Amino acid sequence: MPLFGVRDVTPLLADAPLMEGLDTAPETLPGVEVLQVLFEISSAAMLDLLPRALSPTIPPTVTFVFWRCREGPFGPFSLAQVRVGCRAGVRPRGFPLRAYCDAEPAATALAARWGFACRPGAVRLRRFYDRIVGTVEANGRPVLQVSLLDPQIIVGVEVQYTANMNLARVRDGQGERVRLVQVDPEYTLRRVDRGRPQLDLFVPEAWRAEGVEPVYPVSASITLADITLPRIRYIVDPDVPALQGTEKVAP
C-alpha cells in the first residue's frame, strides 16, 4: 500500500499566499545561480511533514535551495527554500516548508503569481575558492547555513530539479480554495558544478520544519541557469491523494 502524508494544512494557512486567479504568464529570470543541497532525513516524522495529497520519497529527503537572481522582471533578489521530497502520484516533487526572500517586489510577485510563501530575510549566496556558502538570517538571527565543498565543473550532465507543490489560497470561478499549486520551472543550464554537501546550521522551527532531522548528506550542485517560471497547469486538493485530487487548469 502506498504511504501518504497526514499533515493537516489548516495551521499553515496563515502563511499561505492568496492567488487572485491562475492565468499567470510565464516569466524568464536570466542568469540565476542555483545552489541545491540534498540530505536524507530521519523517517520518524516523514508522514507528519506532508499533506494527505502527497507521498514521501523512500528514503525521505530534504533539499535546501538558493536562487540568486541579479536581474530580471522583478529586479535583483535572493530566495531560499527548505523542501521535503515527495511524490504527487508517481512523479517526484518538493513540498516547501518555508521560503525567505530579501526583496519585497520579488517576494510579492512570486507569492501572487506562483504561490511561493516568502518571508522577509537576509539571504546570501557567496563563493569562496574552495566552497559556495548559502546563509539565511531571519529576525536578526541565523537560521540556515549550507555549503558545497570543493566545487568541480562537470560537462554533459543534467541536474534534475523537481517541481514545487506550493500551498496557496486560490481564488477563481469556484471561490477561494486551498490548493497545492504545481510550479515546474524550465531550466536552461549554462554551467554546472558539483561538490560535497555540508550542513553547517539549521534551525527547524524557523522553517516550520519540526521533525526534519538531516542524517546523511547526498549531493550538492550549483548551476548558472536561465529559469522560466511557468504558466500554472495543475492544482491539487491537499486533503485528497493527488491521483484523485488533481485539477488541470491550463494546457
pLDDT of the residue at 159: 86
- Helix (H), strand (E), coil (C) string for the chain: CCCCCCECCHHHCCCCCEEECCCCCCEEEEEEEEEEEEEEECHHHCCCCCECCCEECCCCEEEEEEEEECCCCCCCEEEEEEEEEEEECCEEEEEEEEEEECCHHHHHHHHHHHCCCEEECEEEEEECCCEEEEEEEECCEEEEEEEEEEEEECCCCCCCCCEEEEEEEEEECCEEEEEEEEECCEEEEEEEEEEEEEEEEECHHHHCCCCCCEEEEEEEEEEEEEEEECCCCEEECCCCCHHHHEEECCC
pLDDT at 199 over 80: yes
d(CA 232, CA 184): 9
d(CA 39, CA 163): 17
- Residues 78-121: tens digit of each pLDDT: 999 999 999 999 899 999 999 999 999 999 999 999 999 999 99
Is residue 131 within 8 A of residue 151, CB to CB? The reply is yes
- Residues 26-45: tens digit of each pLDDT: 999 999 999 999 999 999 99
Q: Which of 215, 227, 149, 158 is nearest to 192 (CA)?
A: 158
pLDDT of the residue at 2: 83
Q: In the beta sheet, which residues pair with residue 109?
A: none
pLDDT of the residue at 155: 82
Handedness of CA 71, 31, 167, 13 (dihedral sign): negative
Range 186-209 average pLDDT: 97
pLDDT of the residue at 4: 96
Q: In the beta sheet, which residues pair with residue 85?
A: 94
Domains of the chain: 10-248 (2.40.400.10)
pLDDT at 173 over 90: no
- Residues 41-73: tens digit of each pLDDT: 999 999 999 999 999 999 999 999 999 999 999
pLDDT of the residue at 156: 66
Q: With bands split at pLDDT 50, 70 and 90, how would you rate the model's confidence at 250?
A: confident
Distances (CA, A) of 225 to 30, 186, 192, 237: 7, 9, 9, 31
